[in-house]
Amino acid sequence: MNAGITRLRPATAAGLLIVLFWAAMAAFGPLLAPHADGGVMSAQVFDAASRAAPLGTDYLGRDMLTRILIGARYTVGVAAVATGLASLVGTTLALCAATVGGWTDAVLSRLLDALISLPSLLFALVVVASVGSSIPMLVATAAVIYVPGAYRTVRALAVNIVAMEFVKVARARGEGTLYLMRAEILPNIVLPVLTDFGLRFIYVVLLLSGLSFLGLGIQPPYADWGSLVRENIEGLAYGAPAVIMPALAIATLTIGVNLLVDGLAGRRGGGDGR
Amino acid sequence: MGGKAPLVTVEGLRVTAGGGRSVIVDDVSFSIARGEVVALIGESGSGKTTIALALMGYARAGCTIAGGRVRVGGVEPIGLAPAALARLRGRTVSYIAQSAAAAFNPAQRIMAQVVENALIHRLRSRAAAEARARALFRALALPDPDGVGALFPHQVSGGQLQRLMAAMALITDPALVILDEPTTALDVTTQIEVLRAFKRVVREQGTTALYVSHDLSVVAQMADRIIVLRDGVVQESAPAAQLLTAPAHPYTRSLLAAAAPAPRQAVALPAGAAPLLRVSGLVAGYGPPDARGLPAVPVLHDIAFSIAPGSVLGVVGESGCGKSTLAQVIAGLLPAARGSITLDGEALAPRAAGRTREQLRRVQIVFQMADMALNPAHSVRRILARPLQFYHGLRDAALARRVAALLDMVRLPQALADRLPAGLSGGQKQRLNLARALAAEPALILCDEVTSALDTVVGAAILDLLAELRRELGVAYLFISHDISTIRALCDQVMILYAGRCVERGGRQVMQMAPMHPYTDLLLSSVPELRPGWLDGMSATHLAEAAGGLTRAAARLACPFQPRCAVRLEDVCDRVPPPVQPLSKGASILCHRGEAELLRAQATAAPLHASAD
Ligand SMILES: Nc1ncnc2c1ncn2[C@@H]1O[C@H](COP(=O)(O)OP(=O)(O)OP(=O)(O)O)[C@@H](O)[C@H]1O
Ligand code: SF4
Ligand SMILES: [Mg+2]
């Protein structure tokens, strides 16, 4: 493990550390949080950093560190589940289309092309406005928005593999579609599929944060980082950390994932040469 | 050549790779006199191209010229300043590579690209350069020498593009021309024109040339002197005629032996056995079917043949004639539009998905590109284990034993079992491909150009292995190749395809007996022979036929060979489909001409291929 990390480029290693850090916060954040959530711990709203509140306090005088640690679960968790769902569905459909070909491919590709032409934020707004906002709804909406993209990327990768002769050999042996997808094609495209997952994860984080900032995402009393920015936007006038810190959290998470993804993509192209 | 000072001298050249850890070229010395054509010959990886590139002062990425001296016309390219080096590469030395397509920009007209170097080095005005280019086009026997410059690269054939690349290289009147496998990617019939054009130009211009090739027969036609390389070391260097007739070094002898493969021991087949595979009236192609169910791009037309158990049917024909398509149709990868395929008397479904597992097991396919046919993510063990589990349900210890036995059978070391395909050599990959097919214990293996991507010596070893497996296991092969000498070495029956039609079919001996189908005759006389002077002695009839090439329009004629055929019947062969005729030598051909007429025509054309076998 150690050897593996030291062989990564510094930027990739930094990305990996940031991603691991936020993943850990999403998992254990509430246990580490210094104050019980919701408890107003100070009369001072928009307070600067202090010993009791290392990241200051929010518009109700709550500890910002606690709020961010608890929010990590919503931002990272919801985005991960939504992206995972989008990638899983997109990849499965794409592998199926590329392997079976013919009509299946044509129909699937047309359908998903139609979906991709919807503007994503507008679609999300319409759904949330008509059905109301809940965590399952947000996950489903984000997943639906990002399935076509994942499908397109994976299908483009898979059709190249399907044309290879080892796939023909397996077909001639009489292998079923599922085996071809799972054993022959998927192992040769995992790395770019993971890269694609990372990129899509960033978009989903930004989409969900954007929705929350508009007040349509995770609803109070729960809060993800996007809602934290929104809640504390008035603090901007006082230069309070309360508005900067959640924005910073979003920024570090997306940059971390981006660095990691770049590293993976570079490795695949033999980019770092050793 | 005696008195002249050599144009090129190479002394003690040494090239290393990986920071000096491995030596690619070791202590190579030779010289080339003015006007001389010297050939460098050796297997792939023997350092031929590395030496050729060193003459231009170039080492590939990761390689370093570690020692020795090279002089080309008074200049030492190694360590030359970049500007002087650019001058040397553009004017003094020029390079003709294997793939002409890669040397041309698809978006620019040919003429602009051919004259570019002369203009860059300010050797000629544009008008003078273009006039010179047209003269070269004429010397290189390009059709329409005045008009071809206005075309784009994709509008000319591969053989023509190769000659245009030669014009590009010769436009600066270089002192030395390096030809690196310039005809390796071409069909034999196309190769003839290109070789003749090169030879004429070299002779007319008095060009000094270094000809790099792995093919001794081709080199025999071109070179004054031959240098044999192995693992970066010169084995033998002698005048061409002497090296070919009285090779001094054992390695040269093994190369000569592999170039003209001896027939592998034939197997006595039980007479009158029921055929293993029978194909009749097969029509197949690509693209969506039309109203009559025929494919948009028809490839195979009315193919019929049968294969007896344990016998080998060879399929020959030029690139694009439909050989691979035939293998894929039989394997169930491409459904046929018409016709039937029966295995042991049972009809096979057109698609693999419609066949029983037992039927699938009995027919296995091995592809030409060994590395593309192996999943790069699967280990050798996994690749071999899958068919064993799939067809025979083997597990655990039995599975491991069988994998080990298969590795032994194709002479792969057991230590390779846990490697990925990327860690195998070309020959090892092809052995693994064969082993995977054998794992199914098939009755028939479809071998699509299994030796074509390999060196002659490695290819010969694979042929030996195939012959041995056939003797021991009684498997039958459908053996596809564009190389007639490998077909002759292994096959009992031969089928010759032209534009997707079976033009001749018969036993292997009858392939050398007159009369034959006009295309068979052309194909056989196009195979280069080891004898110097073979190329110059080709009959005018064959040269005219070789120059034609199959065109899109011709493929739609009743006999697609008609525009090239020396004995065609005008207004008949292009309209009336030729009948299948039996010949008294025991073959059948697809032709309007009768046996006597063909015999007469082929006797006067003085076929030169009588010496084979
Ligand atoms: N998937 C495809 N779609 C359309 N046309 C194809 C396809 N594959 C092959 N063809 C065409 O079918 C013809 C026969 O191809 P095939 O691969 O069978 O030739 P071949 O005899 O095996 O040639 P080679 O010696 O170069 O391997 C060619 O004209 C080729 O361009
Ligand atoms: S059918 Fe006619 S054109 Fe075709 S090969 Fe025979 S003689 Fe020549
Ligand atoms: Mg082929």
Which stretch of A15-24, A218-227, A249-258, B494-503 has the lowest confidence by average pLDDT? A218-227
How confident is the model at residue A236, as a pLDDT? Answer: 83
Å from CA of B511 to ligand 1 middle? 25
Stretch B375-381: mean pLDDT, rounded? 94
Ligand nearest to the CA of B323: 1
> What span, in angstroms and rounded, lies between the C-alpha atoms of B594 and B602?
12
For chain B, domains (ranges, CATH) are 8-246 (3.40.50.300), 277-508 (3.40.50.300), 512-610 (no CATH)
Of residues B297 and B100, the one with the higher pLDDT is B297
3-state secondary structure of B55: coil
Average pLDDT score over chain B: 87
> What span, in angstroms and rounded, lies between the C-alpha atoms of B364 and B362?
7
Structure tokens at A232: 């504390």
How confident is the model at residue B129, as a pLDDT? Answer: 93
How confident is the model at residue B609, as a pLDDT? Answer: 43
Domain A43-269 has CATH 3.30.590.10: no
List the residue whose alpha carbon is closest to atom 27 of ligand 1.
B319
Which stretch of A41-45, A214-218, B179-183, B410-414 has the lowest confidence by average pLDDT? A41-45
> What span, in angstroms and rounded, lies between the C-alpha atoms of B107 and B299?
30
Stretch A212-238: mean pLDDT, rounded? 83
List the residue whose alpha carbon is closest to atom 7 of ligand 2.
B568
Average pLDDT score over chain A: 85
Taking CA–CA distances from B382, the nearest residue in chain A reads A183
**CA of B430 vs chain A CAs: smallest distance (Å):** 13
How confident is the model at residue B227, as a pLDDT? Answer: 95
Please indicate if any CB of chain B lies within 8 Å of the CB of A173.
Answer: yes
H or E element at residue A172 = helix A165-173
Most confident of A78-92, A222-236, B70-84, B149-163: A78-92
Q: Residue A3 above 50 pLDDT?
A: no
B182-209 confidence digits (pLDDT tens):
887 778 888 888 888 888 888 888 889 9
Å from CA of B567 to ligand 2 middle? 7
A166-211 confidence digits (pLDDT tens):
999 999 999 999 999 999 999 999 988 988 898 899 889 888 888 8
Q: Which of B188, B325, B479, B556 to mutate to test the pocket of ligand 1 (most atoms within 8 A of CB)?
A: B325
Whether residue B562 has its Cβ less than 6 Å from ligand 2:
yes
The DSSP call for residue B234 is E
Q: Give me the helix-helix angle, B126-139 and B110-120, nearest 10°.
A: 120
A141-173 confidence digits (pLDDT tens):
999 999 999 999 999 999 999 988 999 999 999
Stretch A70-90: mean pLDDT, rounded? 91
Classify each residue of B94-117 as buried b or exposed e, where b means 16 or more C-beta atoms within 10 Å of its C-beta: bbbbbbbeebbeeeeebbebbbbb
Which sequence spans correspond to the domains of chain A? 43-269
Å from CA of B443 to ligand 3 middle? 22
> What span, in angstroms and rounded, lies between the C-alpha atoms of B8 and B37?
11
Residue A166 has its nearest CB partner, among B353, B364, B373, at: B373
Q: Which residues of B touch A (CB under 8 A)?
A: 328, 331-333, 352-353, 355, 357, 360, 363-365, 367, 369, 372-378, 386-387, 390-391, 436, 440
Q: Within a 10 A sphere around the Cβ of B147, how many other Cβ atoms? A: 12
H or E element at residue B139 = helix B126-139
How confident is the model at residue B607, as a pLDDT? Answer: 43
Stretch A235-251: mean pLDDT, rounded? 86
> What span, in angstroms and rounded, lies between the C-alpha atoms of B266 and B231?
34
**CA of B378 vs chain A CAs: smallest distance (Å):** 8
Residues of B in contact with A173 (CB under 8 A): 360, 364, 386-387, 390-391, 440
The verdict on a CB contact (< 8 Å) between A175 and B387 is: no
How confident is the model at residue A173, as a pLDDT? Answer: 94
Tell me if ipTM is over 0.90.
no
Residues of A in contact with B352 (CB under 8 A): 171-172, 174
Q: Residue A107 above 80 pLDDT?
A: yes
How confident is the model at residue A1, as a pLDDT? Answer: 41
Q: What is the biggest distance separating any 2 CA atoms in chain A, rounded to whole angstroms?
A: 75
How confident is the model at residue A53, as a pLDDT? Answer: 74
Of residues A243 and A186, the one with the higher pLDDT is A186
B223-249 confidence digits (pLDDT tens):
999 999 998 899 999 999 899 889 999
Whether residue B158 has its Cβ less than 6 Å from ligand 1:
no
Could you please report the per-residue DSSP string of B403-437? HHHHHHHTT--GGGGGS-GGGS-HHHHHHHHHHHH
Residues of A in contact with B390 (CB under 8 A): 173-175
Q: Residue B326 above 50 pLDDT?
A: yes
